[in-house]
Structure 1
Amino acid sequence: MNIGLVFPPPFDLTQPYLSLPMLASFLRGYGHTVVVRDLNIAFYNHVLSKPYLVRAHQAAVDIARRGNILESDLEWQNLLSRTLTLGPFIANEIDNAKAELRDPIVFFDPKRYARNFRLIHRGCDMLSAVFPTSRITPVSFRMACEPESIADLLKLAKSDKDNPFAAVFTEHFVPDLIGQQLDAVGISVVYSHQIIPALTLARVLKAAAPQLPIIFGGEVFSKMVRLPEVRTTQLFEFVDGIVLDDGRAPLLALCEGAPIDEIPGVVTKNTLKPPSQMPAPLENIDSFGIPDFDDLPMREYLAPPRIMPLLSGKGCQYAQCLFCSESFTKDYAPQSIELVLKAIERLVHDHGATCITFADVDIPPDRLSALADLLLQRRIEVTWSCYARLTRRMDFQLCTKLARAGCRRIHFGFESASQRILKLMRKGTQISVVPDILDACWTAGISPHLFSFVGFPGETREEATLTADFFVAHHQVIGSFNIGAFALLTFAEMYAKAGSFGLESTRTRPPEGDAFDHPYRVRGGMGIDEVKSLATELTQSTYERIIKAGGQFQLYPGNYVCRLGVPPWNSHALAYLSHHGTSFSSVPGRAVELRPGNHEVPIKADFVELESQADGSTLIYNPSNGKLLNLKPRLLSLLECCNGMNTLDEVLECASRDGIASNHAVRALNQAVRQDLVIFLPPNSDDADRLADQGHRITQP
């Protein structure tokens, strides 16, 4: 059989998701033909391009001309306004931004990275501006008004007007899939924000090929279809079957000719017996073999080093946390360490992998130790990141071994600094041991990231503040952290015990197939809006306190705080930590001094001129930091001389003709450098390599 495996957007733009390479390897091992398509990176590469964004800007102009302004949606009005003013600039720069994120030299320049990171986000904002009810980012998608039911999701998936995916899928990706002469298509959905894109793809694919069987798999629909309300909807209008749990056996049966209605572990519209509310026990995952990345477009991902994902085990060995959906499975299936090592060797030797991100929910300390031993014994040179629990066994001896074996980043579920709240969560963490673990990681050369959230039922504002206090007190040994808001998940154990925690759902109608977090209110505690506000407030104040204490950090959207100069995306952060070292920080002052008389280095202004102000100044946009500034006429005139061809001498000569003294011009240019308003263009590749890691300052002779 010829089966297609498809992964829809949105997801990480830096590497492929593992489900498709793992299933492809398994099915090919049985002699079946498998066509793999990562529509996530394909979609973003298509829409984040100059031709598409030029059309998006024109669409925004048309919306403004028609006066179709949603007065009540201030967020969208801001997106539209930004698209109208910055759209042409973003369209012109977007292809170069993607190229630089793939460039093995420029990628590691923190200033260029920050500029390109923001351009990618601003490009996504342009899509949100021309699809007013959609909000799309490089890693997520949501509707301005959140759908409350599967019926809402189906309605949105059938819409062409409000759906940014429909036209792109129909015109560019469905013809390719049809052309592969497939016998069936499997679509993997692992995040709730992929539901609308996945349903949209199924809808347009079924319209083009009505007889083509379409199967959904992945965690989201596996859980959703267990709810009886889902099977009474029109979901199966363009989906023929939904795989429960592990997809290996059902897909293999399908490939070997079994009718969909007769395959165990697949729910169809004809299924009479409701599926078990509990998932099947996890099977040994060794039969997946080594993930097969051969037909994935590795050069298209936005990362220069080969950053590859890998899974060493499914499920969570602990699986006791009340708030987490892993408590639904309560199972753990590790892969043999020997097979994990073979997979690493394959990724390094066949694909040139330099960094590996382990996707396991949690790798226990004994497995980490065994993995490190084999990596060291076989002298495999690769850096990697993983997820682990904060336990006493994560001591300095183990962390040192892990660092020697290439570990550069570990993500920990910290959650809270209140021991009372950790006990209520059933987290199993002793807060007293956490400082020693962080110190062991940092001293060994591993950057720890701490996940946390506020608003667990019963938590007070004072207890939430303890978490912020912890981050401030220990910021010197923390690589990054985030403060999220508690979410009540359908398949977390917490949901079944919601009443005992004083939680009440605030849905306006029955949860028709809800597989997401529930809106709720708390009797005698913080409500959901207060919790979300507190998470943002604490993140901002914690960041400010750390900066005041001398910490060198930066704040990103999503309540994410990380070391200055280290990217927020996980795989990019791993690449930076591997390249620059754990203690890297892009602190101003490590500067190359360029003196008048140097005729080799051109200077280029990097800003967008927006509009003249009443006081004679000019409003400009700085793409490096995303800020708006007012420039006085003489400074604007000076920066206009920095055209990318003039050297410093020529810029100063231009300034002199405008009556600006040389020392004043140098001072102004240094200020512009500090604000990232001008950049230096290296004249040759040797200079490119040298300048990529360094800032620049102009000085008087």
Structure 2
Amino acid sequence: MRQIKPDDKQPRTLLVNPPLTDPTAPYHSLSYLAGAAFNAGYSDVHCLDANVLALNHLAQPAIMESLLSECEGIRQTLEKKSALTRGDQLRYRHALAAVGMRPHSVVEAINTFQDPVAFYDYRRYRKAVLTIKCWFNAMSAVGLPAMFDGVELANHGPVNLSSLKDLVNPSLLQQLLHPFDHYLNGPLSQSLAANWDLIGISVNYISQLPFTIRIAELARSLSPNALLCLGGTEITDVIKFLRIKARVWEMFPGVDLIVVGEGESAFIDILSTLDKGVDIPNSPGIISRQGKEGVPPLRYENMATLAVPRYDVWDWSQYWSPEPVALYSPTRGCYWNKCTFCDYGLNTDRPTSPSRERPISLLCEDLRGIAEVAHVAYLAVDAMSPRFLKSFAEVLIENNIFINWSAELRLDRTLARGLAEKLHRAGAVALSFGYESGSQRVLNLIDKGVRIEVIPSVLSALSEAKIGAQMMGFVGFPGETEEEACSTYLFLLRNSDNWTLAGIGDFTLTPGAIVARNPESFGITRIGEYDGDDIVRALFWADEFGHRNTPGDARSSAIDAIAAKLPRTAMDDRPWVGGIDSNHSILYFSRNGPSLVPAGISSGRHADIAQYQTPFSHVESFSTEANLYELHRKCRKDGWAIGNSQLREWLDVVDHVGRAKDGVELEILPDGSFITAIDERGFSESYHSAKVLLLESYGLI
């Protein structure tokens, strides 16, 4: 164990938020850790948001020029080949995205997000969003095909993020992270090379995992004497779901300590022992190489003694937002804590951690601290009780604290009994709900504690109070019929006037859920882990008829037909306007109310379309990300998770591509995708109609 000799200096500490995740605001874990450290007398703590800094660095025109040149070289190389593999076809698609971009394109898009006028001009805003999508397409061309899903790494992409074989493969990680080399080997390495006593990396999303492995390697080589620690909800999940817990050290060979669960007290324990120059004790929530294998004893923080989070540790001007949006957690855990599908955190006997609430007497100080930095906040909580929610609103109203905020709540009937209006007066602009299902029988199986007939009155009360409602649910719960799945969408259609955004996903069975622990109560006869997943995040299951079920199997043409009828308020998903609980959505709710985007504002052309002459015919039939996703689904249907080595077999299949005598003209859309252009002599009405529909789907006309 590395020790720091005691002297008159405090441990010099660097806390890092790694790529790749939402660049619109800092994640709040480091704000809470910094607050705990400062409260305990440790002021030499520095926070580095490598996520937003990486993206801003890569957006610089000189680096963009290099990316665009590399994409041009890829196109030229592939266009000389007589036949392309599936991987070539994907890479060619990505390289085409760079055709319409300029070196300043991404910087201009980020400037739009940061401009308080341009940001709320939805036409200009969407042009900026499409530019970022195009950029990520281009970066995928120089990295690995189909490596991104939005602004994160794809779960069903070229790397299995739950396979240690993939995650500890140096050459594979080098290819995956190649688009970020300018930052990782430049500014980040310079930051890590300072004289640190402690480097902590907070990892909260699966998309950050490969970057964390690389950053940990860099930190160990550049600061060999520093104590290197990992923590965060994703690290907690890794420990929780690893088949063999000790293999975590294969992923992070240079790391000294890992913190699981809530980390404030563990962080202070680590700082204290460094300060005194003694070994790290066997504290709850801390594991080391010398410690016992498995999950350590859990520690749940006392909300009454928790320090005020520090939001002044961030340079807010770096984020892709016209104003700060602060994340704040006045409660932890879930007061309901019964939903049978839920599996969050390290609680072993309930779906998530026990409910704890910040004392009302301390809320005012917290909220005033937020108001000094931001006038918009997202309450990052599992679910607040109606009683606490009422008290929270009263603190804001009675103390004249003006903050617009959003949170995820349960669809409690008290919202229809005057509480919604009070929340609006307290600054609530949008609320999201785990509505889950339109079938009461399924809701009962979930143990949601909600009556379906109550929900319309709740939504109506929110609408009258000018609060945007965001509805979340899923289809495919064990035993759910097609009719019941359809009812989930039909309910939303019947009540579409009273909600703004909706997202209905596919049920995924996780190991710690009540369903997995008591499968026979849900008609499940068998549960299995996917071969190839070392981190077992999801399970397949067989029903009473022996049919194996995986996420997405419940979908049918009837369900999809009804789903297609749901109104769409905005064009994009997280982290953009239109994403449930996204910071940009909250800002638009604050400006425009439940309409989110003013009526009619999405009409009109948002961006120019670039032309490109390709020698290939039928480019539109080249392999796509959707093909790769279907391959993942097919393999999981067969009970195994495909990794990169097997994916390469599929990607390396040669597909003989025809060449056009005079070439084919492509129209490159602003997000980097394309359609085939046809000259007037060959222009057909059916093609014209298809093109119009496609452009409308992109919000371009």
Q: TM-score, normalised by structure 2?
A: 0.79
CA, structure 1 residues 305+542, in 2 after alignment: closer, same or farther (shift >3 Å)? farther
Q: 1:506 to 1:677 in 2, by over 3 A?
A: closer
Partners of 1:8 and 1:40 within 8 A in 2: yes
The aligned residue for residue 11 of structure 1 is 21
Taking the TM superposition and a 5 Å limit, the aligned residue runs for 1:31-46 are 31-32=41-42, 33-46=44-57
Name the counterpart of 2:670: 623
d(CA) in 2 for partners of 1:589 and 1:506?
A: 47
Q: Which moved more, 1:120-129 or 1:471-480?
A: 120-129
| Aligned residue in 1 for 2:365 | 342
- CA pair 568-47 structure 1, distance change in 2 beyond 3 A: farther
1:21 to 27, 31, 34: 31
Deviations 1:10-55 (A, max 9, x none): 2222111011011101101222110101111112222344333332
Question: Which residue number in structure 2 is paired with residue 699 of structure 1?
Answer: none
After TM superposition, give the deviation of residue 366 of structure 1 in Å.
Answer: 1.2
Tell me which amino acid in the other structure corresponds to 1:2: R
Q: In the alignment, does 2:211 pair up with 1:197? A: yes
Preserved contact between residue 323 and residue 425 of structure 1 (Cα < 8 Å): yes
Identical positions, percent = 22
SS in 2 for 1:252: helix
Note the 1:118-517 alignment, pairs <5 A.
118-132=130-144, 135-142=147-154, 143-155=157-169, 159-164=173-178, 167-168=181-182, 170-226=184-240, 227=242, 229-232=244-247, 234-258=250-274, 259=278, 261-265=280-284, 266-272=286-292, 274-276=294-296, 280=298, 282-326=300-344, 327-349=350-372, 351=373, 353-498=374-519, 501-505=524-528, 507-508=530-531, 512=534, 514-517=535-538
Amino acid at match of 1:212: A
Using a 3 Å threshold, how does the CA distance of structure 1 residues 411 and 314 change in structure 2: closer, same or farther?
same
Per-residue deviation, 1:581: 2.2
1:588 aligns with 2:609: no
1:532 to 539, 545, 552: 552
Contact 2:333 / 2:352 at 8 angstroms: preserved in 1? yes
1:529-608 aligned within 5 A: 531-532=551-552, 541-542=561-562, 544-546=564-566, 551=567, 553-554=569-570, 556=572, 570-588=582-600, 606-608=608-610
CA separation of 1:94/1:528 partners in 2, compared to 1, >3 Å: closer, same or farther? farther
Q: Does 2:68 match 1:53? A: no
1:97 is aligned, of 109, 133, 150, to: 109
Q: CA separation in 1, counterparts of 2:497 and 2:336?
A: 29
Shift of residue 539, structure 1, vs aligned partner: 8.0
> Deviations for 1:189-247, whole angstroms, at most 9, x for unmatched residues?
12222222111211122122233221111122234335561314523512111112221
Alpha-carbon offset, residue 677 of structure 1: 7.0
Superposed displacement of residue 315, structure 1: 1.1
SS at match of 1:402: helix
Distance in 2 separating the partners of 1:402 and 1:608: 47
SS of the residue 1:532 aligns to:
coil
Q: Which residue of 2 aligns with 1:652?
A: none
Q: What is the distance in 2 between the residues matched to 1:168 and 1:520?
A: 44
Q: Which runs of 5 or more structure 1 residues have no equivalent in the other structure?
A: 593-602, 635-671, 679-701
8 Å Cα contact 1:608/1:620 also seen in 2: yes
Aligned residues: 615
- Equivalent residues of 2:147, 2:153 under 8 A apart: yes
- Determine the structure 1 residue equivalent to 2:638: none
- CA change 1:458–1:338 in 2 (3 A) is same
Q: Relative to structure 1, is the Cα distance of residues 616 and 163 closer, same or farther in structure 2, using a 3 angstrom cutoff?
A: closer
- Letter matched to residue 528 of structure 2: S
Q: Structure 1, residues 279-299: CA drift from partner, whole Å, max 9, x if none? A: 625221343322212231201
Change in CA separation of 1:113 and 1:536 when aligned onto 2, cut-off 3 Å:
farther
Alpha-carbon offset, residue 138 of structure 1: 4.6
* SS state at 2:364 partner: helix
Contact in 1 for aligned 2:23/2:52 (Cα 8 Å): yes
Tell me how far apart the structure 1 counterparts of residues 310 and 110 of structure 2 sit (CA, whole Å): 25
Give the superposition deviation at 1:337. 2.7
Partner deviation per Cα, 1:585-636 (whole Å, 9 max, x = no partner): 44338999xxxxxxxxxx99833233499999975445389775859789xx
2: CA distance, partners of 1:589 / 1:5: 42
Q: Is the alpha carbon distance of 1:296 and 1:57 closer, same or farther for their aligned partners in structure 2, counting shifts above 3 Å?
A: same
* Cα RMSD, aligned residues only: 3.6
For residues 137 and 212 of structure 1, the distance between their equivalents in structure 2, rounded to whole angstroms, comes to 34
Q: Distance in 1 between matches of 2:97 and 2:151?
A: 24
SS at match of 2:326: strand
Change (3 A) 1:536 1:410: farther
Distance 2:316 2:449 in 1: 39
Tell me how far apart the structure 2 counterparts of residues 40 and 164 of structure 1 sit (CA, whole Å): 15
| Contact 1:483 1:539 (C-alpha < 8 Å) held by counterparts | no
Deviations 1:392-429 (CA, angstroms, capped at 9, x unpaired): 22224100110111101111001111111112222222
Question: What per-residue deviation string (whole Å, max 9, x for no partner) do you get for residues 153-210 of structure 1?
Answer: 2226973233347624541244333344210111111222222211121112212223
Name the aligned partner's letter for residue 15 of structure 1. A
Q: Residues 506 and 376 of structure 1: is their aligned pair in 2 closer, same or farther, counting only changes over 3 Å?
A: closer
Could you say which residue in structure 1 is the equivalent of 2:7?
Answer: none
2:128 is the alignment partner of 1:116: yes
Give me the whole-angstrom Cα distance separating, in 1, the residues matched to 2:510 and 2:386. 28
Q: Deviations over 1:361-390 (max 9, x none)?
A: 112111111111121112222211011001
Distance 1:369 1:677, change over 3 A: closer
Distance in 2 (alpha carbons) for counterparts of 1:538 and 1:206: 54
SS in 1 for 2:530: coil
Q: Measure, in 2, the Cα distance between the counterparts of 1:492 and 1:567.
A: 26
| 8 A Cα contact 2:530 2:536, kept in partner | no
**In the TM superposition, what is the alpha-carbon distance from 1:462 to its structure 2 partner?**
1.8
Determine the C-alpha separation between the residues in 1 that align with 2:13 and 2:582: 32
Change (3 A) 1:576 1:159: closer
Distance 1:441 1:525 in 2: 44
CA contact (8 A) 1:618 1:630 kept: yes
Distance 2:173 2:589 in 1: 43
User: After the TM superposition, which of the residue ranges 171-180 and 205-214 deviates more from structure 2?
Assistant: 171-180
Distance in 1 of aligned mates of 2:342 and 2:167: 24
SS in 2 for 1:292: coil
Aligned AA for 2:335? Answer: Q
The alignment's TM-score, normalised by the length of structure 1, stands at: 0.79
Q: Which residue of 1 aligns with 2:643?
A: none
Cα deviation for residue 108 of structure 1 reads 0.5
Residue identity opposite 2:590 in structure 1:
S
Instruction: State the distance in 1 between where 2:332 and 2:367 align.
Output: 17
Does the 8 Å contact 2:123/2:606 carry over to 1?
no
**What letter is aligned with 2:257?**
G
